[in-house]
Amino acid sequence: MKPAITAAPRKSLHRMKFIPLAVMAFALIACAKSADNPATAMKATTVTTTDNPFFSPSTLTFQYPPFDKIDVDHYRPAFERGMEQELAEMEAIANQGESPTVENTLVAMERAGAILSRVSSVFYALTSAHTNDDLEAIQSEMAPKLAAHRDKILLNAKLFERVKTLYDSRDKLDADRETGRLIEETYQSFVRAGAQLDEPEKERLRALNGELAELQTTFSQNVLKEVNASAVIVDSREELAGWSESEIKAAGDKAAERGLAGKFVIPLLNTSDQPPLASLHNRALRERIHNASLARGSRGGEFDNRQVLVRIMKLRAERAKLLGYDTHADYALENQTAQTVAAVNERLESLIPPAVANAKQEAQALQQMIDAEGGDFQLAPWDWAYYTEKLRRARYDFDAAQLRPYFELNNVLEKGVFFAAHKLWGLSFKERTDLPVYHDDVRVFDVFDADGSQLAVFIADFYARPSKRGGAWMNAYVSQSKLLNTQPVVANHLNVPKPPAGEPTLLTFDEVTTLFHEFGHALHGMFSDVTYPSFSGTAVPRDFVEYPSQVNEMWATWPEVLKNYAVHYQTGEAMPSELLDKVLATQKFNQGFATTEYLAASLIDQRWHQLQAQQVPSAEDVAAFETRALKQAGFDSATVPPRYSSTYFSHIMGGYAAGYYSYIWSEVLDADSVEWFKENGGLSRENGDHFRETLLSRGGSEEALILFKNFRGAEPDVRPLLERRGLIQTAE
């Protein structure tokens, strides 16, 4: 389960209109004080409107963005002209004298907003991947403007009347299946956005949307700023016992970059748990790192997010009530595959007891190890990862660090991820260096289909940097559409620590599976074969979008694939079979912790968004509210804290608001699908093509569960998930 964030900007009617609330929210986490590549630092210069590269389609392959021609001064005028153009297009559609037809209304809407789409896709990609102060300022300025722009379209009474006319007569129209879905989805988009409210209610809705756009931007910018500001400073090399020489050198280099020569800097990641806790021997340092991680956004100062969080939750609850829903969760879940709050609560409640029971068993085993070593202390959260690795070595004679020499980044990508894609779909990849990039670490590949035709352009951005938000995600710069005659330009982003110059990039096993996971999102975008951009690629329900990417993780350990890429970076020798056996034997190891921390975060997300406005606690009570919610659900957060606490839970500021449950929901489909592949022979063109034709290529052009059943031939079965996570016996 990889908490990837998929950001796929759309230019079409109901997708475009969610730019301020969805695309921005996925990509709104800005950070560094300056860009770290002078050649592409987006420095302000004087430009004229005729120079603006967003005003016309890129002439590069598949309209690949001309990063070398884009300057920070291009964004504001492109946003302004883009909004002006699209609004004029929508007004023309709304006010035309002809009776509404699919062509003169819905298709025209799908074609609208080209400039806004181009600038949004690049801008919000870079505010995630390579931001700076200038981009951050523009982002804050544009958030309320884009929210207002969205409302001008969705609350346009004449436009809605045309859409409603088509919706009311949809059964009489001779429309194909995808067009019929476009009619229904567009109508629902208007209704859910408030098109049926009276004018005073619409005015209040506009105010709510504008304030929410500003607050959500502030929250997520605070998160990443504090991640950089909260890095843990270590005074002596001795405190870093347990780390490799390469890791120590990297920490020293980071300190030197901050003017702290002779010291060491341990940066924080976006999650509660921090990777260094698994290997550092110094317990006091582990505690410092853990406490710094959990304190983010809640200790006062300029990055404190408590007031922002509380205000957002109140406004979301008020907006939901205004739109006719009991809570924001009811609103958010209505158009997901889960559909209801009750369904999500039932799924979480069924999984929490066995997960917590497994975590308690794991904690007992860790405590026994501590006691056996003469440790005079009780297991604490900052001890869990450290003693888990020791226990793993003791039980399986296996140290996770043994794997890294076999997981060199380029081998994993080209001989693992790309190799599996070739076996399943006949894809081939050719790296190119002639296309401009926004950072020197970025790589670009042409992707060719089995028949030799070019399918897509793939952008790979794998290294962490201060100008990049945490986590891993996919985004689309250009989405496939037959209507617009566009083909995909998609990107994958990871946060792999960059090694010192001249040293290889050796991945952890988790980073390997993340690489496969994110490429699953990329495939979803590349294989899209739909007419309307509204349904392209990953434009599917939030609790379905992770499913194809989770399925793609299976190939990371598929014997034929792993044998091809898991070779020692120095000797070229294949990973010993006994080491692979140990890897596979530990797949269910520590799943109690992993499942519990994830479910705890999902529970927090739901508890916030199932509140009425008057039930939202004060800023001072945020931590207590979270603690109460976890305790009532049966969690022991003192030992296994949630993967994210409320004040740095950036997922729920965007598309995952009341939707973080999506990963486990999608994993039910994923685990069941993995069983299908195994039952049908695994890694084969026949299986890959079936998955592509029935599901991956269809985007959002059909209901998600119908697509799943078209692929699987049956309803989803939860049992494979329970077996995978070692929960089956407790659940039964």
Instruction: Report the pLDDT value the prediction gives residue 49, as an integer from 0 to 100.
Output: 55
Q: What is the mean pLDDT of residues 714-732?
A: 78
d(CA 700, CA 61): 25
Lowest mean pLDDT among 209-213, 220-224, 553-557, 687-691: 220-224
Q: Which residue has the higher pLDDT, 148 or 728?
A: 148
* Pair of tokens at residue 266: 């341990």
| 511 and 463 Cβ atoms separated by less than 8 Å | no
CB atoms within 10 A of CB 442: 21
Lowest mean pLDDT among 22-36, 98-112, 126-140, 161-175: 22-36
Q: Which letter, b or e, does each residue of 660-691 get, where b requires 16 or more Cβ atoms within 10 Å of its Cβ?
A: bbbbbbbbbbbbbbbbbbeeeebbeeebbbbb
Instruction: Report the pLDDT value the prediction gives residue 269, as an integer from 0 to 100.
Output: 84
Instruction: Report the pLDDT value the prediction gives residue 14, as an integer from 0 to 100.
Output: 37
Instruction: Report the pLDDT value the prediction gives residue 12, as an integer from 0 to 100.
Output: 33
Lowest mean pLDDT among 24-38, 266-280, 291-305, 688-702: 24-38
Q: What is the mean pLDDT of residues 164-185?
A: 96
Residue 527 has pLDDT above 50, yes or no: yes
Instruction: Report the pLDDT value the prediction gives residue 603, as an integer from 0 to 100.
Output: 97
Instruction: Report the pLDDT value the prediction gives residue 32, as an integer from 0 to 100.
Output: 26
Q: How confident is the model at residue 246 (pLDDT cuts 50, 70, 90)?
A: confident
Instruction: Report the pLDDT value the prediction gives residue 24, as an integer from 0 to 100.
Output: 35
Percent pLDDT > 70 in the chain is 92
Q: Which residue has the higher pLDDT, 37 or 277?
A: 277
Residues of the chain with CATH 1.10.1370.10: 308-393+586-651
Site of tokens 């297009």: 89
Instruction: Report the pLDDT value the prediction gives residue 398, as an integer from 0 to 100.
Output: 78
Residue 14 CA, chain-centre distance (Å), reads 21
601-623 confidence digits (pLDDT tens): 999 999 999 999 999 999 999 99
Residue 281 has pLDDT above 70, yes or no: yes
Whether the CA torsion 295, 301, 305, 311 is positive or negative: it is positive
Q: How confident is the model at residue 87 (pLDDT cuts 50, 70, 90)?
A: very high
Q: Which residues, in sequence order, are CB contacts of 434 under 8 Å at separation 6+?
A: none
Instruction: Report the pLDDT value the prediction gives residue 466, as an integer from 0 to 100.
Output: 84
Q: Which residues, in sequence order, are CB contacts of 123 under 8 Å at separation 6+?
A: 75, 79, 135, 138, 139
Residue 480 has pLDDT above 60, yes or no: yes
Cα–Cα separations (whole angstroms), residue 23 to 372, 376, 544, 545 = 51, 50, 17, 15
Percent pLDDT > 90 in the chain is 79
d(CA 604, CA 626): 7
Q: Which CATH class is domain 308-393+586-651?
A: mainly alpha
Instruction: Report the pLDDT value the prediction gives residue 125, as an integer from 0 to 100.
Output: 96
Q: Which of 132, 353, 389 is nearest to 280 (CA)?
A: 389
Residues of the chain with CATH 1.10.1370.40: 5-224
Q: Which residues, in sequence order, are CB contacts of 610 under 8 Å at separation 6+?
A: 327, 328, 329, 341, 658
Lowest mean pLDDT among 168-177, 424-433, 546-555, 647-656: 647-656
106-141 confidence digits (pLDDT tens): 999 999 999 999 999 999 999 999 999 999 999 999
* Pair of tokens at residue 143: 């958030």
Residue 409 has pLDDT above 50, yes or no: yes
Rg (CA), the chain: 25
Instruction: Note the CATH number of domain 5-224.
Output: 1.10.1370.40
Q: Which are the catalytic amino acids?
A: 518
Site of tokens 């995630």: 128
Please, what is the average pLDDT of the chain?
90
Q: How confident is the model at residue 299 (pLDDT cuts 50, 70, 90)?
A: confident
Instruction: Report the pLDDT value the prediction gives residue 588, as an integer from 0 to 100.
Output: 77
Q: How much is the pTM?
A: 0.87
Residue 537 has pLDDT above 50, yes or no: yes
Q: Which residues, in sequence order, are CB contacts of 553 under 8 Å at separation 6+?
A: 2, 513, 516, 517, 520, 670
- Do you know the residue count of the chain? 732
d(CA 133, CA 374): 51
Instruction: Report the pLDDT value the prediction gives residue 729, as an integer from 0 to 100.
Output: 55
Q: Which residue has the higher pLDDT, 34 or 240?
A: 240
DSSP tag of 415: I
Measured at the CA of 129, the angle between CA 519 and CA 474, to 5 degrees, comes to 20
DSSP tag of 443: E
583-592 confidence digits (pLDDT tens): 777 777 888 9
Lowest mean pLDDT among 10-24, 377-391, 427-441: 10-24
What single letter denotes the amino acid at residue 113? G
Instruction: Report the pLDDT value the prediction gives residue 34, as an integer from 0 to 100.
Output: 28
HSE of 289 in the Cβ direction (CA atoms, 13 Å)? 31
| 159 and 94 Cβ atoms separated by less than 8 Å | yes
Instruction: Report the pLDDT value the prediction gives residue 11, as an integer from 0 to 100.
Output: 34
